[in-house]
A and B are shown apart, each in its own frame.
Chain A
C-alpha cells in the first residue's frame, strides 16, 4: 500500500459515530406568515362571511340574523338562472374565440418572428398600458353604426349570420351580445396569448421537422406534435380567460343591452344599490361554486396538475 493516504476502518468496522440531531428551521414559516395571513384574513375569512351572510334573513335597515335560510339558494337559481347561463355562455364563447385568435398569434411570436420577438411580445402587453375601461369605451367608437366595421359586416352579410345566431337583433353591432363577447375576447386575449406563447416557445422546432421527416403533413404534425405539447399553455390560457370573463360585467354594461346582462352586474346592483345583502351574497356564492366546479372538472379532464 502506498505511503500516502490511509484508509481507516478497513478490514472490519470500527465503532460507528453517533448521529447528531437534525436542526429544525423556523425561518420559512416566518417568511410565509405575513403573506398567507393576509390571504387568510382578506380572502378566506370574507368567503366565510359571504357564506354566512347568504344564509341570513332581514333587511339593511333592521339588520340581519343567521337563520340557515338555505331555500334562498334555490330561489336565487330559479330567478336568476338566465343570468348565470348567459355569464357562463358568454365567457365560454369568448374563451374559445380568444383561443382561436390567440393560438396563431402566439405561434407566430414563438416561431416566426425572428429578431422581432421581443417587440411583438411588448405589443401583446401594450394594451395594458392603457386603462381597461378606456379601451373598452374605444370599442363603442369602433362598433358604432355607420362606422367601417359595421359597413364591412353588412357587406359580407355577417350581420345576417349574427342575427340568425341571436347574437345581434338588428343591423347593428353595438349594444348586442356580440359586442359583449367581442369585448370580453379582446380584454382577456393577452391572458390567453402569454401562457400559449410560453409553452409554444419551449417547443423544439426540430420536433416538427422530425414529424415532417416521418411523413406528417403540416396539419398532422400540428395535431400530433404541436398541439399536445402546447396543452399546458392551452389549459392555463383558457382558465385565465374564462374565470375573469365569467365574473366580468364591465363589457356587458358598456357594450351590451338590457338583454345581455351578466350575473356580475346583478350582484353589483344588489350589493350597492338594492342593499339586499343576503340575496347578493347568495348570488356571489353561487357564482363562486359554479366557477370552481367548472375549473375543477376542466383541470381534471385536461390532466394538467401544474397551474401555479
Chain B
C-alpha cells in the first residue's frame, strides 16, 4: 500500500559503510529493512484489498473467488443473502455481552493482581496464562464435554460463557499493564488531598486506567466477534457470523459477505482515524 512505500526518510539515518555507495545493489543494501517491511505490509494487507474489490463483483457461479463484472447489487441489498444478517446480529449481541462480562471480571482481577501481594500468586498467573497457551480446538472441545456432561443446553449462552473464558485473560493482561504503569504516588497524592478511597478511585485511578480498560474491551470484542473454532463447538443450532461464512465457504459465498467485511474494515479504520485526530488536536490545543 502506498503509505508504507514512501514513509520513512531512511537513507539519511543509515550508517554509511566504507563500501560502494552507488548502484541499485547498494541502494537495496541501505534500504533493505524498508524494502522487506514494505513487502510484509503488502502481504498483510493484500487480502483486505481483495475483500473490498470483490464486494463489487458480480460472480458467475456460486462462489465469489474470481472477477467477472462490476456490480453494486450486493451494496444495495446487504442483507440479500438469506440468514446472513441474523447471524451478524447474533454475533454482535454475543460480542457485546461477552465483552462487558470479560472486561468487568478481567479489570477486577487485574487490580487485585497488581495492587496486592498474596499467597498462590504463581498459581493464579498460571491459570491466567493457560487459556492463552491452549489451542482453541482443545478449549472448545473440553467445554463441549463439560456442557454435554452437565446436560447444559447449547446456544447463545454457552457461546457467551466460552467467549468470556478465553477473553478474560487478554483483558487481565492488557489492564494489568496499565495499572502497573500507574504511578502509586498519584493515588497517595489524592488521599493526601482529602479524597477517601472511593473518591480516589473514581477521580484518579479510573480515569487513568480507562485507556487500558478500553483497549482490553476492544480486544475482547474483536476476539469474540471473530471466533469460529470455539464457537462452533458450543453453538448448538445457533449460527454466528463466522459460522455463517464457514458454511458459505462450503455451499457458495454470497458477495454480501465482502460487503460486510468492507463495512467492518471502514468503520474500524474511521474510528481509529477519528481517535488519532482527536488525540492530536488535544495535544496541540493544550500546547
A interface residues with partner B (beta carbon < 8 Å):
25, 27-29, 31-32, 34-36, 38-40, 42-47, 49-50, 53, 101-102, 104-105, 107-109, 112-114, 116, 118-120, 122-124, 126-142, 144, 186, 189-190, 209, 212, 217-218, 239-240, 243-244, 246-250, 254, 263-264, 267-268, 271-272, 277, 280-281, 284-285, 287-288, 291-292, 295, 307-308
B182 within 8 A of A: no
From A34, A126, A132, A291, B265 is in contact (CB under 8 Å) with A126
Name B43's contact: one of A120, A186, A244 (CB within 8 Å): A186
Q: How far is the CB of A244 from chain B (nearest CB, A)?
A: 7
A293 CB, nearest partner CB in chain B, Å: 12
Instruction: Name the A residues within 8 Å of B39 (CB-CB).
Output: 101
Cβ-based interface call for B33 (8 A): yes
Asked if A39 meets B127 with Cβ closer than 8 Å, knowing A141-B54, A142-B50, the reply is yes
Residues of B within 8 A of A (CB): 1, 3-4, 7-10, 13, 15, 17, 32-34, 36-41, 43-48, 50-51, 54, 65-66, 104-106, 108-109, 111-113, 115-116, 118, 124-125, 127-139, 141-146, 148-149, 161-162, 164-165, 168-169, 172-173, 176, 222, 225-226, 228-229, 232-233, 241-242, 245-246, 249, 253, 257-258, 260-262, 264-265, 267-269, 272, 276
Q: Write the chain B residue with the least CB distance to A187.
A: B47
A101 to B37 Cα, complex, angstroms: 8
- Nearest chain A residue, comparing its CB with the CB of B118: A28
Q: Which residues of B contact A240 (CB under 8 A)?
A: 132
Beta-carbon contact of B145 and A35 below 8 Å: no
B66 A287 Cβ-Cβ under 8 A: no
A287 contact set on B, CB distance < 8 A: 135, 137-138
Question: What 8 A-B pairs come out closest when comparing CB atoms?
Answer: A247-B135, A108-B37, A28-B116, A129-B268, A46-B142, A31-B112, A104-B36, A35-B109
Main secondary structure of the interface of B (DSSP, over half): helix
Q: Are A32 and B124 in contact (CB under 8 A)?
A: yes
Can you list 9 A-B contacts with CB-CB less than 8 angstroms, sorted by A residue number?
A32-B124, A38-B105, A42-B161, A123-B41, A126-B265, A131-B245, A137-B249, A217-B17, A264-B135
Task: Please give, as numbers and ranges, the residues of chain A lying within 8 Å of B54 by CB-CB distance.
Answer: 138, 141
Contact (A131, B242) CB under 8 Å given A186-B43, A247-B137: yes
The reply to whether B109 and A53 form a contact with Cβ atoms under 8 Å apart is no
- What B residues does A27 contact at CB under 8 A? 112, 116
Residues of A within 8 A of B66 (CB): 141, 144
CB of B15 within 8 A of CB of A218, answer yes
The A interface is mostly helix, strand or loop, or mixed, namely helix
Task: Give the residues in chain B near A126, CB-CB below 8 Å.
Answer: 44-45, 48, 265, 268-269
B257 to chain A, nearest CB (A): 6
Assess the A44–B127 pair: CB atoms within 8 A: yes
Asked if A114 and B51 make an inter-chain contact with CB atoms under 8 angstroms apart, the answer reads no
**Chain B positions within 8 Å of A209 at CB level:** 15
CA distance A189 to B17 in the complex (A): 32
**Which residues of chain B are near A136, meaning CB under 8 Å?**
47
- CB-CB under 8 A for A116 and B137, given A35-B109, A101-B43, A131-B264: no
Residues of A within 8 A of B36 (CB): 101, 104-105, 108
Give complex CA distance A45, B149 in Å.
Answer: 11
Q: Inside 8 A of B32's CB, which chain A residues have their CB?
A: 104
User: Which of B8, B50, B144, B145 has the most CB atoms of chain A within a 10 A radius of its CB?
Assistant: B145
Instruction: List residues of chain A with CB within 8 A of the CB of B145.
Output: 46, 49-50, 53, 277, 281
Residue contact B137 to A29, C-beta cutoff 8 Å: no
